[in-house]
Structure 1
């Protein structure tokens, strides 16, 4: 039996959507003007979305809508208005990042199919059932995974009846998606809100290893790895590119369509992939997929590589050096090829229409017979056979028309009820009431029913879903008179001694990576029951297995986790857990969802949001709200190495030994003079941090009534070559501040001179 493989295309605007459809995409994902993670794309209007759905369905293609950003509290009112419209379309799915929105969709809009965005950083076996429990039917995996890891997760997906998507072509972020705060902290443009300014593509001062674009990596392409992905059990092959145009989309999708179909038909790869180089690219790599993280993944040019490829290909064909004239000719030929691609795509999509269908309504009434509504629709799409271009159907009332002296279903009544038919698929061009007989009536509920029958007919026979209004959330206060408590995060076992100088909670940050079968943290935590395990955001493959073993063997009374896979298993084991700050919690519905679905006991509120945005979050009953007031500002973490392009590294590729033993640090500086610390802890992922620490003492005066606790990070991670303040001094000053000694605020500012709380002021 031939496997079902979905080719999923990007649609940044209507022309790109049309190009994807005509090129053979099985599905297209696109975004509206709001609530999507590609604000820089042209995006489309609601009416254009409905037209695109209608057009796509004529070609057996599906349309998915991206709602893949974190949602702020005040936005749910307008978001629910949008969802009320979407449920009455034939949209095929919504792509979601926010856990609160997942909750709202499952509870109030169950007819909308939910897809978990790559922004949810899904990379281990616990996260798939976590998302399935929240209503997701499919999951888009993190782009950093290799074939072995994808294969293992595909089996988990099958066990939980969850489809898996994998990105197979297009731009690669060097950072883990959903965990990049680079332009959020530096420029106020959050990737979690679709406003990423692409710091990874920026030019920096020439690094020690001689690179000017040390964070820029090549585009991803699995064009020749399709057989392995099919064998791995991947359902959907997703192409990136909503910022790119119709020519790019058509070329890439047409190439992949031919490659997939050719392989399924013949068992061989039939395409050479050369056309992929004729549209925008930064050269290609499949290193993540192959699990070979090497220096060749980087390219010191973030712009279009197609000209360079054309010249190099011409050189290879000549066998020796070529002249300046020949280089010029090669570039001119590429330019001509691109113009031909543009002209060809324009011609192919020119006849595709998303115009509304013309709608005529004809009413007729006669005593003793039902009220009759004749519905005439005229389709403008040239591809539809002329015999089927006009469709007519007749709808009738249940009761016959009877004389009435007081009430009459006349022209005025009909026009009032039907002239504003709310369906984005149709344009009402004529409302004919000439055949209505005055003085006749039926119960008005039947007129309403006739209208509902009409709306259902216009919506492909699907009954109109009634409008949903979210119930008002209850705001539960924390226990009266209870001041927020101070907690702290450590990662050095020697710092466990800090328990002797404070009564506050002490979280112990577990590593990202472990030796296989590692048990030392089990013993350490059992010997130090005061410490609360803190699980990191990324736990891939064996590292997740070891972390899960720690959870199962220690069975602590409480944990903090930034990883939803650990959260899933904590609930199954009956272990109390708190959602960490890297779960990007920005609204009340996240709290409600985590509590109701996974018995979560509390959550750290995102440090990306402002005072006003925090103030309106509703605390569920018996639920703790926490906030980190002092920590290094993580800009990005990566599975790739940041040292290869900054200070250089003698190792040609990253291996497990690098993760466990490397503890380098350096810095890079952009052309504005801003410096960023690159830090690699032993058993941690390479990370980049802001030059300033996050220090927010204002929140203690502003919002102490909302929070049960404030946390300070004493891990020294991200400090670079700066001397960190004495930890005991920091603890005492923060404790003094929480006890009402306001002068401690200035002392802390002096202890941490390079600090900011700009995100708390500006928000998202």
Structure 2
């Protein structure tokens, strides 16, 4: 028998939580004021959360709290205190991104269930297995997985799987986007994403602009799986997650109520599943940038994107047929329905739109109009005839949805059984129980008397006991044991009922509470002094090494000649046994320069065997180690297959605090590359806890996408045409900044920052901070430039460790347009 999935709804504030609960959600997810990946949502204070938790638990709805941001060392103590509080209050689970916070949670608050956020970029079986071994209860998989891939992960791991089924999509793998962070300091990994993917861009090929259909080149459509919901259920997904903590409560009410009906409809009759036209239209009306099934059915290619409109499109209701200059009004020929109070927008006019305060036919005011009507609406801007008109807000729909969460009488009811025993000469006993084994029993002070006039009948009792009023309870079964001659005053029945129901309410809420922990002070608990922001430089006793990442034989040779101590080799599927590669590898061996094999950020299950073969080949060729870029590959490399090879974890692992560093080191990492979002002060704090590397120069990847951007724009639905291999591509933002776009051998898109990172003049401070290695990422650099950049940094290191402290090079010598990234400012 198929298991019905949990329906999980967003709650950006209390109104949205009520909307979700009253419309059929099985669980809600929400953020506390700190550590939430939607920092701009309303979120909850602890007192507000306590109220929200009780509201949901009373109604049998679970509550998950998002603590899904990267955590600074200075915040870890506060995060731990928050987890203690959430555990004591009875939170059903926390959703976590930070690996360090995860390890701390499992060690210090083991009774608090943990779910792994989609921000962890978990996309393969090995990644899920590692999290399961760490005690993670549920994994929110990357949105880029197909149903077949999800089925494989579910079958191989047995883990609880959560997946997004409706709402906004990110173009970048969640947890791997630095675009908002590097452009404006608003980090998506810290909950402050400014959504640069919804901005306008131009495409350049070899420096020349390419005409595109629409200018929102990074803006995906919205996910809508209502049509394929049976396939998601049969794939074994445990929880269906609706995106939308930034959306209004009416949106939450509408989407949740439809998915509730659809799940129940399938459960009742799997062979005759359907989605009504009204349901489809309502989902479209509530919010859409057009809809897509995402990656569930395979790669959607260009069909994934909504390049012409990055905001809510609404529903087409007509077209502009004229403009009355004298009256400052537009004429609209309707193909759908409009009412006063509705909102409208216009195709091609991004900022244009209005709420209809009045509309007219033949100068006569009307409240509503339908198909073929030609209406006049006040609007100051003249619009081109033929412009498509969208209804972006349906006022009647919104008002109807508001009633579902604004009514003082609860809509969602809990069935209860009520039992009364009232024997003459004895105290009255009343019990109320639910279907979750909660039961309250009241023995009243009132002693049942014999009737002097009219006895109290069973019908009289049932009538009073049925009056549960504005409580969440609804009698499903009433059993009455009362003799024919008994008399019970109505007041006594009402008091007993009220007291029993009140007691049952308390039981339903308080059963989730957990015993508070005695706050231990251990080596693993965050220390109080870590709250201090100031830092003391640490002088490294060992010489700081210079590593260089390259992706071709010429760059490998140039890096070695420039003075690299270690070289990381990214072959991107190329044959490293070719003559040219072998020659460069031999040169490295002759110079006794260790080589490490770069592994990709994304390695799906179908690609894992190919990667194992590449690692085996690298070991055979004498490589000293592996650079690991995702959780799954990290677990795989912990095995005997790479025995003797050192492991370096890459910056994509988002190491932001010492707890993550220590976890990775304990699991076998020799060196850990720190997050690109850390500043010097944070680097100095963490470097004393293990071997740390920091990327100091090169093209910083700001996005990695499963979507082939170039193929999607220039190819067709049947064939991408391999356009990505036909030249150099860049996207240009509204301020004129150019971002390099590359496509790898697996057709994934990589976008790089508009400015090259260059910290050459900061080398002395980085050495003092205690870094074991600094790295040049030369994979976007021309091979002839790699040697020069390497030599500049090598000289910088040498001058620091010699008596000659003079800096031989300046940043401008090796990088014309550069940035210091987050070295000084860090992120919020």
Could you state the TM-score of these two structures normalised by the residue count of structure 1? 0.79
1:679 aligns with 2:738: no
Name the SS for the 1:290 alignment partner. Answer: coil
Selected match of 2:174 from 177, 183, 186: 177
Is 1:663–1:682's contact at 8 Å kept on the other side of the alignment?
Answer: no
Name the SS for the 1:606 alignment partner. Answer: coil
**Number of the residue aligned with 1:383:** 472
What 5-or-longer segments of structure 2 have no aligned partner?
Answer: 204-209, 321-332, 338-369, 378-387, 413-441, 444-467, 475-493, 531-535
Aligned positions of 1:183-582 closer than 5 A? 183-204=180-201, 208-267=211-270, 268-272=272-276, 273-299=280-306, 300-308=308-316, 315=335, 325=374, 335-348=394-407, 351=410, 382-384=471-473, 387=496, 389-390=498-499, 462-469=514-521, 471=523, 481-498=541-558, 499=560, 502=563, 504-511=565-572, 530-555=594-619, 556-573=623-640, 574=643, 575-582=645-652
Cα pair distance change 1:108/1:477, threshold 3 Å? farther
Name the SS for the 1:759 alignment partner. Answer: coil
Is 2:150–2:235's contact at 8 Å kept on the other side of the alignment?
Answer: yes
Cα RMSD (Å) of the superposition? 3.8
Question: Equivalents in 1 of 2:132, 2:627: separation in Å?
Answer: 22
Cα pair distance change 1:393/1:618, threshold 3 Å? farther
Question: Equivalents in 2 of 1:749, 1:295: separation in Å?
Answer: 40
Cα pair distance change 1:8/1:712, threshold 3 Å? same
Structure 1 residue 456: deviation in Å? Answer: 14
Is 1:526–1:554's contact at 8 Å kept on the other side of the alignment?
Answer: no
Name the SS for the 1:626 alignment partner. Answer: strand
Structure 1 residue 241: deviation in Å? Answer: 0.4
Structure 1 residue 747: deviation in Å? Answer: 3.6
Number of equivalenced pairs: 662
* Greater alpha carbon shift after TM alignment, 301-310 vs 227-236: 301-310
Bigger CA radius of gyration: 2
Question: Equivalents in 1 of 2:805, 2:571: separation in Å?
Answer: 34
Is 2:562–2:787's contact at 8 Å kept on the other side of the alignment?
Answer: yes
**Number of the residue aligned with 1:147:** 147
Question: Equivalents in 2 of 1:629, 1:581: separation in Å?
Answer: 12
* Greater alpha carbon shift after TM alignment, 283-292 vs 627-636: 283-292
Q: Deviations over 1:27-54 (max 9, x none)?
A: 1110011101001111111122222222
Is 2:732–2:739's contact at 8 Å kept on the other side of the alignment?
Answer: yes
**Number of the residue aligned with 1:616:** 685
Cα pair distance change 1:460/1:182, threshold 3 Å? closer
* Greater alpha carbon shift after TM alignment, 544-553 vs 283-292: 544-553
Aligned positions of 1:21-32 closer than 5 A? 21-32=21-32
Structure 1 residue 557: deviation in Å? Answer: 4.2
**Number of the residue aligned with 2:428:** none
Cα pair distance change 1:310/1:493, threshold 3 Å? farther
Cα pair distance change 1:627/1:460, threshold 3 Å? closer
Is 1:213–1:302's contact at 8 Å kept on the other side of the alignment?
Answer: yes
Question: Equivalents in 1 of 2:261, 2:400: separation in Å?
Answer: 17
**Number of the residue aligned with 1:406:** none
**Number of the residue aligned with 2:825:** 762
Q: Deviations over 1:708-751 (max 9, x none)?
A: 11111222x2x6xxx67622222222111111166556444222
Cα pair distance change 1:577/1:459, threshold 3 Å? same
**Number of the residue aligned with 1:728:** 787
**Number of the residue aligned with 2:452:** none
Q: Deviations over 1:591-625 (max 9, x none)?
A: 111122x22222011111111222222643xx311
Is 2:4–2:233's contact at 8 Å kept on the other side of the alignment?
Answer: no
Cα pair distance change 1:614/1:308, threshold 3 Å? farther
Question: Equivalents in 2 of 1:136, 1:225: separation in Å?
Answer: 28
Question: Equivalents in 2 of 1:756, 1:324: separation in Å?
Answer: 58
Question: Equivalents in 2 of 1:470, 1:690: separation in Å?
Answer: 41
Name the SS for the 1:559 alignment partner. Answer: strand
* Greater alpha carbon shift after TM alignment, 267-276 vs 233-242: 267-276
Cα pair distance change 1:214/1:60, threshold 3 Å? same
**Number of the residue aligned with 1:431:** none
**Number of the residue aligned with 1:650:** 715
Is 1:87–1:112's contact at 8 Å kept on the other side of the alignment?
Answer: yes
**Number of the residue aligned with 1:449:** none
Structure 1 residue 198: deviation in Å? Answer: 0.4
Question: Equivalents in 2 of 1:188, 1:304: separation in Å?
Answer: 26
Question: Equivalents in 2 of 1:745, 1:7: separation in Å?
Answer: 62
Question: Equivalents in 1 of 2:319, 2:2: separation in Å?
Answer: 40
Structure 1 residue 304: deviation in Å? Answer: 1.2
Question: Equivalents in 2 of 1:380, 1:605: separation in Å?
Answer: 58
Q: Deviations over 1:166-193 (max 9, x none)?
A: 1110000111110011110000001000
Structure 1 residue 163: deviation in Å? Answer: 0.6
1:703 aligns with 2:783: no
Cα pair distance change 1:666/1:540, threshold 3 Å? same
Name the SS for the 2:233 alignment partner. Answer: helix
Is 2:597–2:618's contact at 8 Å kept on the other side of the alignment?
Answer: no
Name the SS for the 2:639 alignment partner. Answer: helix
**Number of the residue aligned with 1:96:** 96
**Number of the residue aligned with 2:354:** none
**Number of the residue aligned with 1:402:** none
Could you state the TM-score of these two structures normalised by the residue count of structure 2? 0.73
**Number of the residue aligned with 1:128:** 128
Cα pair distance change 1:380/1:189, threshold 3 Å? farther
What 5-or-longer segments of structure 1 have no aligned partner?
Answer: 354-374, 395-424, 427-454
Cα pair distance change 1:510/1:256, threshold 3 Å? farther
**Number of the residue aligned with 2:14:** 14
Cα pair distance change 1:230/1:393, threshold 3 Å? closer
1:584 aligns with 2:639: no
Question: Equivalents in 1 of 2:750, 2:392: separation in Å?
Answer: 42
Question: Equivalents in 2 of 1:333, 1:577: separation in Å?
Answer: 52
Cα pair distance change 1:348/1:145, threshold 3 Å? farther
Structure 1 residue 346: deviation in Å? Answer: 3.9
Structure 1 residue 381: deviation in Å? Answer: 6.9
Question: Equivalents in 2 of 1:392, 1:292: separation in Å?
Answer: 53
**Number of the residue aligned with 2:41:** 41
Q: Deviations over 1:497-543 (max 9, x none)?
A: 344553511111242x689xx9989x969977742111121112322
Question: Equivalents in 2 of 1:633, 1:315: separation in Å?
Answer: 49
